[in-house]
Amino acid sequence: MVTNLVVIMSWGGQGRVALDAAVAAGFAVSAVLDDSAPEGMTERSGIPIVGTPDDWRAQPGGTSFLVAMGSTQRRLEIGRAILEAGGNLPTVVHPGAWVSPSASLGRGVIVMHGATIHVDASIGDFCIVNANASLDHDVRLEAGVSIGPGVTFPGTVTCLEASSIGAGVVVLPGRTIGRGATVGAGAVVTKDVADGATVAGNPARVLEPRG
């Protein structure tokens, strides 16, 4: 059991949900590093805020970290820095989630309440799988992917590094979501999504940058 876990949070909501998942999973959370707390706030859920995410290096030896930021790139940056420094990044699975014994979960993965991860799925380091998402057989997530609440992957879907899948998205089997791509909430993805693209709608279409 991890007895000295520091949760690294940012932008509020995602981190608070992850903090709840860690506590529900039985982790002893000793402190929070949070750059989104309102001025004057000194704790989250009764756990002291002791700095911002960049203060992780100042934590005592033997500290474990849960990097729970919503930003995929920031989560990758800090998670990889902690690993390079020899730090520990445990995986947190809410007791209300279900993970197949044949699925593999990387370091620092967070699986929220009601999520299901099915046979032979592969979840890379620092991925977040939010509440009630369903990742069916042979789904593959590379490092740092964010899966929103209620997402449905019927099987054999691949999400490349740091891609972000919004709430309620459906991706058809065999499709690939490109590196750093964003899929807007409620989209139905029927074709592969290119690296860095933002898509939305049913069927999902590329959104052009606004001038």
Judge whether 94 counts as a catalytic residue: no
The residues facing 66 across adjacent strands are: 7
Question: What one-character-per-residue DSSP string does 146-209 give?
Answer: EE-TT-EE-SS-EE-TT-EE-TT-EE-TT-EEPTT-EE-TT-EE-S-B-TT-EEETTTTEEPPP
Among candidates 188, 154, 155, 185, which has minimal Cα distance to 170? 188
Peptide bond into 173 cis (omega under 30): no
The Cα 65–Cα 4 span in angstroms is 8
Task: Select which of 94, 113, 118, 137 is catalytic.
Answer: 137
Residues near 19 by beta carbon (within 8 Å), at least 6 away in sequence: 7, 9, 29, 32, 44, 45, 47, 68
The Cα 54–Cα 56 span in angstroms is 6
Q: Which residues participate in catalysis according to the annotation?
A: 137
